Amino acid sequence: MKKRFLGVLTAMAMTAALFAGCGGSGDKEADAGTKAQSEETKSEASQAGADAVTEAVTKADEAGGDGEYTIAMITYSLAEEFGVDVIDGAQAKADELGVNMVYMDPAGDMQKDISIMEDLISQGVDAICIAPVDADAIEPYIDQARAAGIVIVNWDIETQAEVDAKVLDNNTGGGAMDAEYLVEKMGKEGKVLIVSDLESVTATWERIIGFKDKLQEIAPDVEIVEQLSSGTRDTHRTTVENMLQAHTDITGIFCPDGDRTLGAYVACEANERKDVLIVGYDATPEQKEIMKQDGAECNMIAVVDLHPKTLGSVSMETAYKILKGETVEAVYQSEISLMTAEAVAAGTYE
């Protein structure tokens, strides 16, 4: 299929609303009202996602892109610097290959993610590279896309749906790297907080498993406490502050993504707990700058670097090769490394 689209689209940035239902058996009317409000919110989110895709692709079509293929990139959220870097890497590769790239931001909202997929299918793009918000909920929509002849490359957050190729991180290995470095600096005793995520976000969940398994293997006397934290960096900061107050003997924190890592860092700063050692993820420029400013004594001692621009570039190139009829690896394992405060302070980590 050959389409005419504009190369890069401006991503929509919309924040998902959070709702919590409450009430006893005598509150049936309140429960019904809450349910109706929730369904209305889902409908609005779905429509917002569909409208954004339609508007973007319509404008692109009018502009008349001249690339051979149109490939869509869908991140988990562009509120995270990681997602922005992935898009940058994908765009650079798309420009090199002469591909028209479009991208959309579900902003961590499953309903938006689904509506974006539905509209991309109806618009008839050639390929979709997706890191789904919910790995299970997205499966039927991936099936629909492939039935329509659209190539699917699943990156970062793995789904069990049938896809054309996967570009994944060694998530359990990255979690294990963090555990090993934390024990090296903290010792084999103490209490470690894991700032957890939903199991449906498979990438972060696998990192947690890798961290826990390795920590229990090499330091079985370390106590582990876990706390689910879903939302923004501010949410994660509040979560960590509450846990620091509830568990004053915490000596280490593991965070499976960038926003959780930075939220934990700010929480420790605000509560004068620089003694708590933090290991996390993403190696963003912001994290690197903090390590530079704090020096080798920075309590954000290490973060796993997923090299997001490479992740975006490889995902884009993989989709392109499949469209060209070339053979690709069924699962491509992306590069990871550990960025430490010591290495940044010494100027040895690029």
Contacts of 164 (CB under 8 A, 6+ apart): 146, 151, 152, 153, 319, 322
Tell me what pLDDT residue 74 has. Answer: 97
Q: 16: which 2 tokens? A: 């998902």
Tell me what pLDDT residue 310 has. Answer: 94
Instruction: Give me the chain's average pLDDT, please.
Output: 85
By DSSP bridging, strand 337-340 and strand 300-305 are antiparallel
Tell me what pLDDT residue 155 has. Answer: 96
Q: CA nearest 222: which of 281, 299, 282, 277? A: 277
Q: How many CB atoms lie under 10 A from the CB of residue 167? A: 27
Return the C-alpha torsion angle 262, 268, 269, 275, nearest 10.
-120
By DSSP bridging, strand 277-281 and strand 252-254 are parallel
Residue 1 has pLDDT above 80, yes or no: no
Query: What CA–CA distance (Å, rounded) separates 200 from 193?
Result: 21
Query: What CA–CA distance (Å, rounded) separates 231 from 117?
Result: 22
Tell me what pLDDT residue 38 has. Answer: 41
Q: Are 23 and 31 within 8 A, CB to CB?
A: yes
Give residue 66's pLDDT band: very low, low, confident or very high (50, 70, 90). low
Give residue 81's pLDDT band: very low, low, confident or very high (50, 70, 90). confident
Tell me what pLDDT residue 55 has. Answer: 53
Query: What CA–CA distance (Å, rounded) separates 116 from 104?
Result: 7
Residue 342 has pLDDT above 90, yes or no: yes
Per DSSP, 295 falls in state G
Q: How many CB atoms lie under 10 A from the CB of residue 211? A: 28
Query: What CA–CA distance (Å, rounded) separates 330 from 139?
Result: 18
Q: pLDDT tens-digit profile of 298-319? A: 999 999 999 999 999 999 999 9
**pTM for the whole thing?**
0.74
Backbone φ and ψ for 151, nearest 5 degrees, come out as -75, 135
